[in-house]
Chain A
């Protein structure tokens, strides 16, 4: 086995157990220089404290479960390298997402997020773009222009999962959530936008736009764009909220 360059990283972790006072615990763990923050969290759990709870599943930004705040900023620790967020001195601070009830340590109750996504009714799969490659951050990284793809004879289109991984980071980053706890929120409204794009059925369109136009819909948004800045999947929820506003305004003018 080739030797790995290791770093000793201190983690200051938010701790809370039912009935106890919240506080921070600091642990120092040794991880490879190339480790992601989730690997350091894993080391805390495995080597120091089995009562430490956090959410995780896929470790490659597909499940959306491990979202939290690193030094106050919403991130997915599975794709955030330790060396990219740690200054090499001060402990790396880990906090749970904002705007959700805390269950235990870094685990929050995401039911309010999934209620919003269910209300929007967006399917998690969609038709694919007719070209490859595809990237979350744009293709400039590898300097290859997209090439068209042909379909196999037995398929009418390629399909793929929606870019939104339902990590709830946007709802944590959104300043409007604190002013209206029923606000449909960035992911909820972005899902309404995607569901609306997928249908021309007038009844469905009226229902979706009705939700977006309601008391807790697009007009609540203060246009801070924090959701778009924080989204790890470049979903651009704020852009989708603005697009819904444009459609709603357009329809009002048409009626007159």
Chain B
């Protein structure tokens, strides 16, 4: 029995954000031995501090159709596999200016091209649904946006992965990789609970460290074309909207208000950072969130702020490109060609598409390890997130 178990390939996943969590679930379900290494709590990096928007894809349907299609497809899958973990109240794309209004036709065309169900609803109806929406709204288009909680989202994937044998090591930090010739054969870690160092062997390592993927890749002697791009979000002391409110225009700063539980969260700004570990929040970004947010919901400025947060997103691009124009899609990098066989990076993307990212990287992992099992994560409902801690 024990010797049979040793024949099953062992995969180390670096990072327990949404990508690492979904990848652990996918690989464990395909029968692999999986260990997730995370230096902090689950979702303590980029995933935890995200806007909580379950994208319908409308945000990208004009500028980045590949991302838009990924979003709507994954949106529908997540409704099936984690139905109890979502606030499903749809979203509105709202026109406030003539320029917004002029964007509507392109938006509706984009939605149609990306099979996003979109309904141009009368302004009077929109105001009855959202009584605090700007009364000078000129048009409103309803799409199937939703809201998730990123922490519980990850816990559900990891709880299910653990039921299938995965091991999740929190407060364990990767300090280096070990290799034999050009093959990466394991990782060195430091357990922050004990201060002890150890070595863990692996047949393959998946780098799912989000904006820290470059740092992790450097330990394996390879690089990832990633640009850590920070964003500021502001959470209010009141929930002013039931539905996600988006500005009907190309993506820009402060153009979304995502409601959740008893708060509304305005986001985001976007600027490139060197070190994703410590991001200080520029006060003028907070003010920009309030001044943009109050265009959609004029009450925004009257409501006390409950919290403000900033975190780096892992966008893929070359330095120097405008961060807003960088595609929000994801990419897998098999570093075998760069001299690190058995080391794969999954980078970019967003929490809404984490399951699809996991499917793609798990396909590559299984291909490299000679395993022919197909992905089963599209239909299998996840276990209760509460089981993660039991």
- Residues of chain A whose beta carbon lies under 8 Å from any beta carbon of chain B: 1-2, 4, 17-19, 32, 34, 36, 39, 42-43, 46-47, 50-51, 53-65, 78-79, 103-104, 107, 109-111, 113-115, 117-118, 123-125, 128, 132-137, 139, 141-142, 144, 147-152, 154-155, 158-163, 165, 233
- Inter-chain CA distance A19–B306, complex, in Å, is 39
Give Cα distance in the complex from A149 to B90, angstroms: 14
- The answer to whether B390 touches A135, judged by C-beta atoms less than 8 angstroms apart, is no
A149 and B242 form a contact (CB under 8 A): yes
Q: Would A144 and B299 count as touching, CB distance under 8 A?
A: yes
Which of A109, A110, A160 has the most chain B CB atoms closer than 10 A to its own CB?
A160
Given the complex of chains A and B, what is the CA–CA distance between A121 and B284 in angstroms? Answer: 44
> Knowing A142-B302, A150-B125, A160-B261 touch, does A132 contact B241 (C-beta < 8 A)?
yes
From A114, A155, A161, A163, give the contact of B386 (CB < 8 A). Answer: A114
In the assembled complex, 30 residue pairs joining A and B whose CB atoms fall closer than 8 Å, in A order, are: A17-B193, A32-B280, A36-B307, A36-B308, A50-B173, A50-B192, A51-B192, A57-B41, A57-B43, A59-B311, A60-B265, A103-B171, A104-B194, A107-B193, A111-B389, A111-B390, A113-B389, A114-B386, A114-B387, A123-B84, A133-B132, A133-B238, A133-B299, A133-B303, A134-B239, A142-B238, A144-B302, A152-B129, A155-B90, A163-B262
Interface residues of B (CB under 8 A from A): 40-44, 47-49, 52, 84-90, 121, 125, 128-132, 142, 149-152, 171, 173, 192-195, 233, 235, 237-243, 260-263, 265, 277-278, 280-284, 299, 302-304, 306-309, 311, 384, 386-390
- Excluding A65-B151, A159-B88, 9 further A-B contacts by CB distance (< 8 Å) are A4-B280, A78-B307, A78-B309, A103-B171, A114-B390, A132-B240, A133-B132, A152-B90, A159-B89
Assess the A103–B131 pair: CB atoms within 8 A: no
Quick one: which of B42, B152, B260 has the most chain A CB within 10 A?
B152
- For the complex of A and B, list the 5 residue pairs with the smallest distance between their C-beta atoms, beginning with the closest: A57-B48, A63-B151, A59-B309, A60-B307, A46-B278
- The residue in B85, B239, B265 that gathers the most chain A C-beta atoms within 10 A of its C-beta is B239
CB atoms of B128 and A46 under 8 A apart: no
Tell me what chain A mostly uses at the interface: helix, strand, loop, or mixed: loop
Q: Whose C-beta in chain B lies nearest to the C-beta of A65?
A: B41
With the chains together, A219 CA to B96 CA distance in Å?
Answer: 56
Q: Which residue on B lies nearest to A6, using beta carbons?
A: B280
Residue of B with least CB distance to A154: B90
Given contacts A114-B386, A132-B241, contact A104 B192 (CB under 8 A): yes
Distance in Å from the Cβ of A240 to the closest Cβ of chain B?
17
- Establish whether residues B48 and A58, one from each chain, have CB atoms under 8 Å apart when the complex forms: yes
In the complex the two chains form, is A135's CB within 8 Å of B87's CB? no
Please, how many angstroms separate the alpha-carbon atoms of A142 and B236 in the complex? 12
* Contact residues in B for A56 (Cβ distance below 8 Å): 40-41, 44, 48
Which A residues lie within 8 Å of B242 (CB)?
Answer: 128, 132, 149, 158, 160
Contact A61-B43, Cβ < 8 Å, known A18-B193, A53-B192, A133-B299: no
Chain A proximity of B167: nearest CB distance (Å): 16
